[in-house]
Amino acid sequence: MKIGTVLHPRCYNRDNGSMMTKALEYRDVTFSYGEESAFRMEHLNFSVEEGEFVAVLGHNGSGKSTLARLANGLLTPDRGAVAVFGATLTQKNLFEIRKQVGIVFQNPDSQAVASIVEDDVAFGAENVGLKREEIGKRIDFALRAVGMEEFRTATISRLSGGQKQRVSIAGVLALKPKIMILDESTAMLDPRGRREIVEVVKNLNEKEGITVLMITHFMEEALLCSRAVVMNRGEIVMQDTPEGIFRRGEELLTYNLALPRIGEICNRLRAGGMQVRDSLDVNTLAEEISKCVS
Amino acid sequence: MRIVAEHLSYVYNARSPFATKALDDVSLTIEEGEFFGIIGHTGSGKSTFVQHLNGLLRLPSSLKRRKKKDGVVLTVGEFDLTSKKTDFRALRRHVGMVFQYPENQLFAETVFEDVAFGYKNFADKKPERDEVERAVREAITAVGLDYGAVKDMSPFDLSGGQKRRVAIAGVIVTSPEILVLDEPAAGLDPLGKREVMALLHKLKESKCKTVIVVSHDMDEIAENCTNVAVFSDGKVKDVLPPAELFKRTEELFSLGLDVPLTAKLTLALKQRGVEIDCDYTMEDFVAKVLAKRGNVC
């Protein structure tokens, strides 16, 4: 085994001079799905600090899901490495790392492994060989965190899409992960279900300190994050605060993305000669407009 | 073809402990030529209703010998769906149904075979090769794909948006007069969404006379529909054009539904003493706001 290749998890952050911990780090990652595939990810460098809530945007096929799957070893880089809290992912520590990085996928109907809520939530915890009492505690904690305590003995197939996804999240939470990745987990839900999930995740980030990487097509959801990144052809092409990203509307269009509708309205008003400042929420924009009308 | 439903009810698992009333005395008319929207939260009966339109769900009176109609009316053009004598096969050729995530239903080895399946399936006798090819070429071209480039490809090698187009082509290949789509833009990226909606407008002008979409996206509804039906608890609460419907913000919120962004802004402006009277499309909203512009800025 080579010694000296593992970086210390605590590294110095130049911007604010504080000690920051890198929760997830992609070091010069190159990956492809084989010779025939048109998709390539080359020399990707990207990291997420502990406690961050990062949105990943990009059109279909831009590499968002590949990014997610590389994070817990569902895919392995061809070259380069992925590190979780400083530990480089290898075949040996794969299962340790999967306990730390949970992924929730898109389809609420294809992630359940049991028919009763508590059995489903327990599955992951049982799988890693926890004691029975501990599993019980973990189920309590996970269901409380996603607001599904009263559904503990409910049949999953009779729940709504949003509720099913909350059970999926609870199943991941029962492993007490430090990082949670949502791979378009809200895409198949109705607006109410979407709101439920976003609230639960935001709460986990703020109260439990879980680092979140949220892959989404809904530009509005990205507004809740502390940082947004845009992917295109396996590359990270933009990185900024959500406001910063959406100020660069023209550039977004070149990556086949659109502004959130509210950004588009701001742009159109300005194009029509009304000097409103960029506002990404309804009340701020209404305020801006009301200043301009007599 | 005009769609008329009167006093339509439907119960799942009737006469069992799991009986659930999905439709409760629904009356609704959809005129030919409409771009009709159906909204309502999950479980409100939207899907149950649209599945009646091509006989995927059948009324008891069309199935059982002695069952009376009890004043229920359900007609699609000339077809009387309450009657036992109706040719449901012919009906399905006229009413095309695109389900949620239709790309999950692609199955054939090539795009050509996948699209051709619907055509062959609905033909009265085995169609000639030329005839099938003509229909498939027309359908694939109509959904905006290059026939020559994609026909021999596996549908599974296409991108998400392209797969959805192929799935829609597989439905319009029989030239249905009415096209019903359940969440046609769900799960696509923002650009893909716009493309699909633009495609539906194009289809409505060229191939299908009436388009009916079930959607959760109120902005999409406001931008595209001529009329909207609001479902709640198996009942139809309102049938209104978007310009009227989204004035009722409070009512929609109380039904657990959202309103378009333009309606939220209109409401927020009203609270600040600025009245905007728009039809809730982005274009009209911006125009009406700009018209109110003072000399201040």
| pLDDT tens profile A157-178 | 888 888 898 999 999 999 989 9
Res. B295 pLDDT band, cuts 50 70 90: low
**B-chain residues near A230 (CB < 8 A):** none
User: What is the distance between the alpha carbons of residues B176 and A80, in angstroms, rounded to a whole number?
Assistant: 53
**How is residue B47 written in tokens?**
């899907």
Pair B74, B9: CB distance under 8 Å: no
Interface test with B, best of A190, A198, A262 (most B CBs within 10 A): A190
Which whole number is the average pLDDT over A220-228? Answer: 89
CB-CB under 8 Å, B264 with A192: no
Asked whether A201 and A169 are in contact (CB, 8 A), the reply is yes
The closest CB to that of A292, out of B42, B257, B297, belongs to B297
Tell if the CB–CB gap between A60 and B161 is shorter than 8 Å.
yes
Running DSSP on this structure, what letter comes out for residue A6? S
Does A3-259 carry CATH code 3.65.10.10?
no
A141 neighbors A173 (Cβ within 8 angstroms): yes
The residue ranges of every structural domain in chain B are 3-259, 260-297
Q: Residue range B2-26: average pLDDT? A: 89
The pLDDT of residue A109 is 83
d(Cα B266, Cα B289) in Å, to the nearest integer? 10
Rounded distance between C-alpha atoms, residue A202 and residue B119, angstroms: 49
What does the block give as tokens for A104? 């929730």
Q: Is the ipTM of this complex over 0.90?
A: no
Position A190 pLDDT exceeds 90: no
Give this prediction's pTM. Answer: 0.81
Rounded to a whole number of angstroms, the CA Rg of chain A reads 21
pLDDT category of residue A8 using cuts at 50, 70 and 90: very low
Asked whether the beta carbons of residue B261 and residue A261 sit closer than 8 angstroms, the reply is yes
Residue A10, pLDDT > 50, answer no
Mean pLDDT on B105-128 = 90
At residue A218, the 3 state secondary structure works out as coil
Q: Alpha-carbon distance A127 to B64, whole Å?
A: 51
Judged by average pLDDT, the poorest of A140-144, A256-260, B26-30 is: A256-260
- pLDDT greater than 50 at residue B4: yes
A61: closest chain B residue by CA: B159
CB contact under 8 A, A59 and B43: no
Closest residue in B to A191 (Cα) is B216
**pLDDT surpasses 90 at B219:** yes
> Are the beta carbons of B222 and B246 closer than 8 angstroms?
yes
Rounded CA gap, B137 and B116, in Å?
9
Cβ burial B4-29 (10 Å sphere, 16+ → b, else e):
bbeebbbbeeeeeeeeebbbeebebe
Alpha helices (H) along chain A: 64-71, 94-100, 117-127, 132-145, 161-173, 191-207, 219-222, 242-247, 249-254, 261-271, 282-292
Measured distance between the N- and C-terminal CA atoms of chain A, rounded to whole angstroms: 73
| B103 interaction partners in chain A (CB closer than 8 Å) | none
Among B189, B271, B274, beta carbon nearest to A293: B274
DSSP A62: S
β-strand A40-49 against A19-32: which pairing, if any?
antiparallel
> Residue B259 has what pLDDT?
93
Class of domain B3-259: alpha beta
- Closest by CA position to B286, among listed A168, A289, A86: A289
The A residues from 117 to 136 touching B (CB cutoff 8 Å) are none
Positive or negative, the Cα torsion across A268, A271, A274, A278?
A: positive
**Quick one: average pLDDT of B215-231?**
94
Confidence of residue A19 (pLDDT cuts 50, 70, 90): low
Nearest-by-CA chain B residue for A255: B191
CB pairs under 8 A between A and B: 110
In this predicted structure, the answer to whether residue A90 has a pLDDT above a threshold of 80 is yes
Q: Which of B191, B258, B269 sits opposite A258 (nearest CB)?
A: B191
**pLDDT of amino acid B172:** 93
Given a cut of 80, is residue B64 above it in pLDDT? no
A26 phi, psi to nearest 5 deg: -105, 120
pLDDT band of A260, cuts 50, 70, 90? confident
What does the longest C-alpha to C-alpha distance in chain B come to? 74
Q: Where are the domains of chain A?
A: 3-259
> By C-alpha distance, which of A105, A87, A64 is closest to A229?
A64
Of chain A, the percentage scoring pLDDT greater than 90 comes to 47
Chain B touched by A281 (CB under 8 Å): no
φ/ψ bin of A226: left (φ > 0), alpha (ψ from -120 to 50), beta (otherwise): alpha
Assign A83 to helix, strand or coil: strand
Contact status, residue B289 vs residue A289, Cβ threshold 8 Å? yes
Q: What are phi and psi of B230, to 5 degrees?
A: -105, 115
| Residue-by-residue DSSP string for B5-67 | EEEEEEEETTTSTT-EEEEEEEEEEE-TT-EEEEE--TTSSHHHHHHHHTTSS--HHHHSSS-
